[in-house]
A = this chain, B = another copy of it.
Amino acid sequence: MEIEHPYLMFLGDARDQLAAKTAQGIVDWRKDWCLGQMRLEGCNADIGLSDMAIDEAVQRGARTLVVGVANAGGVLPDHWVDTIVEALNAGLSVATGLHTRLSSVPRIAAAAKANSGQLHDVRFSDQKFDTGKGHKRSGKRLLTVGTDCSCGKKYTALAMEKEMRARGLNADFCATGQTGVFISGRGISIDAVVADFISGAAEWLSPDNDADHWDVVEGQGSLFHPSFAGVSMGLLHGSQPDVFVVCHEPTRAIMRGVETPLPTIQQVIDQTIASGSLTNPNIQCVGLAVNTIALDDAAMGRCLAELSEQYRLPASDPMRGGVSAIVDELISRSST
């Protein structure tokens, strides 16, 4: 799956800003790729781009209409179909993360065919993978892991890519979820892969590369989450990371969507090393990425200092202080 940019961001009639979370994530990390936003009447979201119609976006070089908004149930409402068909007729491709496959809507399928437009359903994975082999590949890999779902693994990976590139390192973000795929233009929604091929898909995602190249792989779920640990395990084995960063939200008591208590950071470090050693015996933790959204500045400072002291690892919030210290640690450990 390779989604061509620049993007025109379609927000439909999003009820609120949260409904446009995917679109916002794309703008946060790939503003250069986003020409404008297109909103229908009643839209209550705004991702800070100029409002732009399809014909203007095409004139400015847009390649893909990105449906960066989710509504209840993830279905494609009928009243969005006109816009999608218009985009296809204007020569754009269309990408969505909805549960409805674009090609399942006859008018969309017909317009795509007539205009040779690509339809990208990033929630689905139709690609065939091999089963994982476990062979050591060339190049280096970083994986973000978590004490829970939805605690900052994607943003941490993107922040690491950005900081590593700023230091002159050869680093590429590898997307394993929908928003990540939009942000990088390629990748896999790994939770949509058939179970037998989780680690194989992760191996495909970060193939052999130059010795100094880093794949920065977006983690998913948690080895301690009763819903998703299988995905986390296959992704760990397949991505065979040299280093990992533990992502953590310090105010959570139970994991998202279940009643299971959050594991400790130490449990996550120990289990990630224990399981990750199967495909990379040198795996090590280089830092803690702490999502401090629920803390004020003083509380954040105390929290990061305590965690850094306790684990003897750099601890920072990628969204508030950056990941400079974690990249320092990565460089220092990689060069020894």
Interface residues of A (CB under 8 A from B): 131-135, 190-196, 198-200, 223-224, 226-235, 237-238, 257-260, 271, 274-275, 278-279
How many Å lie between the Cα of A228 and that of B278 in the bound state? 12
Question: Which of B223, B224, B227, B259 is close to A132, meaning CB atoms less than 8 Å apart?
Answer: B227
Q: A134-B259, A258-B133 are in contact. Are A198 and B230 (CB under 8 A)?
A: yes
* 16 contacts across the A-B interface (CB closer than 8 A): A134-B227, A134-B258, A191-B195, A191-B196, A194-B195, A198-B230, A199-B228, A199-B229, A199-B230, A223-B275, A226-B279, A230-B232, A230-B233, A232-B233, A233-B234, A271-B275
Closest residue of B by beta carbon distance from A238: B226
Among A229, A231, A257, which residue has the most Cβ atoms of chain B within 10 A? Answer: A229
Complex contact B196–A194 (CB within 8 A): no
How many Å lie between the Cα of A199 and that of B233 in the bound state? 13
How many Å lie between the Cα of A26 and that of B200 in the bound state? 31
Contacts of A198 in B (CB 8 A): 195, 230-231
Q: Shortest Cβ distance from A197 into chain B, in angstroms? A: 8
Contacts of A224 in B (CB 8 A): 278
Contacts of A231 in B (CB 8 A): 195-196, 198, 230, 234
Q: Shortest Cβ distance from A54 into chain B, in angstroms? A: 34
How many Å lie between the Cα of A196 and that of B224 in the bound state? 14
Question: Which of B191, B237, B260, B274 is close to A278, meaning CB atoms less than 8 Å apart?
Answer: B260
Q: A233-B233, A260-B278, A274-B271 are in contact. Are A226 and B195 (CB under 8 A)?
A: no
Among A198, A228, A230, which residue has the most Cβ atoms of chain B within 10 A? Answer: A230
Q: Shortest Cβ distance from A164 into chain B, in angstroms? A: 27
Complex contact B227–A257 (CB within 8 A): no
Contacts of A260 in B (CB 8 A): 134, 278-279
Complex contact A233–B226 (CB within 8 A): no
Complex contact A229–B191 (CB within 8 A): no
Complex contact B191–A227 (CB within 8 A): no
Closest residue of B by beta carbon distance from A261: B278
Closest residue of B by beta carbon distance from A135: B259
Question: Which of B199, B232, B259 is close to A227, meaning CB atoms less than 8 Å apart?
Answer: B199
Among A199, A223, A234, A271, which residue has the most Cβ atoms of chain B within 10 A? Answer: A234
Question: Which of B135, B226, B237 is close to A229, meaning CB atoms less than 8 Å apart?
Answer: B237
How many Å lie between the Cα of A223 and that of B223 in the bound state? 12
Closest residue of B by beta carbon distance from A134: B226
Contacts of A233 in B (CB 8 A): 223, 229-230, 232-234
Q: Shortest Cβ distance from A198 into chain B, in angstroms? A: 4
